[in-house]
Amino acid sequence: MQDPLSGIRVLDLTNVLAGPFCCHQLAHLGAEVIKVEAVGRGDLARQLGADPELNARDMGVSFLAQNAGKKSVTVNLKHPEGRALFLRLVGTADVVVENFRPGVMDRLGVGYGVLREVRRDLVYCAISGFGQDGPWVKRPAYDQIIQGISGVMSITGDAKSAPLRVGYPIADTVGGMTAAFAVAAALNARPRGGFIDVSMLESVLATMGWVVSNHLIAGVTPQANGNENPTSAPSGTFEAAGGPINIAANKDEQWQALARHLGREDLLVHPDYATREDRKANRHALREELETVLRTRPAHDWARELNAIGVPAGAVMTVPEVLESEQIAGRGFLERFEKVPGVGRDIAVVTTGVKLDGRAPSVSTPPPELGQHATEIWTSLGLGPDEIDDLRERGAI
């Protein structure tokens, strides 16, 4: 199970994040992913990220983050010869992934109906903001738009700060992960082949099961609860010396162990905290009581002691802190490449968050420069150097 998608060829026609993130997962699971990019500009993510110099080189950090292990070619799908060459490439592929607005691929003459005539068992995955049908089908969609429409922003933050955007592109990422899951499942189908319609909006709503079900089943309107866990107490973020700590004493025995460890056995016999529902109703007063002790020592010390007695706890860390932690360093989660072409220095990027038979999936090559693999891919289709040069001069590739 080292490379479960070995032998699978994926054509990645996607841009920025949801689609590239999907194909990032597939590449790390062993698929050969060929990134089919627009002539002259490529994936927009090549110009995005926190390093302006890399953006100018078409190797922006946003691109580097989820394109390791892929190959890159450029094709002009609006050029008849470019489109014809792309169809030849489709004939060698198992999967096509795109995240254009619905209808764009059809207008270019390379929609699913055309491609399945080239390869009957093709798995075609279309990722869009709202899916391929419905009254919102023509709306443009970015991550923040989906965060707002899905209700995510309405429940993020607290009563004063909501609605609040989640601090990373959660809608794009969830949409991409959903697409990767669907593609992997479709590859297992017999007979193989079909159209996958991924809606970012529905993908996000699917991950909000508890929130949505509290409304649909219990009739409770979802609220922004800040750092409090609405299902239990004491469960949330507490102030400790030097920084906050998360504690999730969700079970009665965990609550009792926490109170005893903090030397606050008196809280166990207080009528306001006798039951789970009592503690939920009086959560803010309870938090203040616990913080009188928690503020006396650092979060990391409390976390170590509480975890040892079975009370889940963890310091609230920054991104640099967790990346430098022994846990992440020892799991093989980060992938490192030396002196990456187009970048000119070493880089580290994330992998997938899973291990297969004890090994973290990895890829052997860094994110590609625009069109880096043109000769390799077009030669494999039978084109000679002169033909490739001629197509390039005519703007087809």
CB 183 within 8 A of CB 26: yes
Measured distance CA(21)–CA(376) in Å, rounded: 24
* Beta pairing, strands 95-98 & 9-12: parallel
**172: annotated active-site residue:** yes
Burial of 139 (0-12, 13-18, 19+ CB in 10 A): middle
Beta bridge partners of 96: 11, 124
* Residues ≥6 apart with Cβ < 8 Å to 351: 28, 332, 333, 334, 335, 360, 361, 362
Measured distance CA(136)–CA(130) in Å, rounded: 6
CB 174 within 8 A of CB 204: yes
Measured distance CA(241)–CA(258) in Å, rounded: 17
Prior bond of 234 cis (ω within 30°): yes
Beta bridge partners of 73: 36
HSE at residue 351, side-chain half, CA atoms within 13 A, is 23
Beta bridge partners of 235: 248
Q: What are phi and psi of 322, to 5 degrees?
A: -70, -35
| Amino acid letter, residue 84 | A
Q: Which of 12, 58, 143, 172 is catalytic?
A: 172
Closest CA to 140 of 207, 200, 96: 200
Catalytic residues: 172
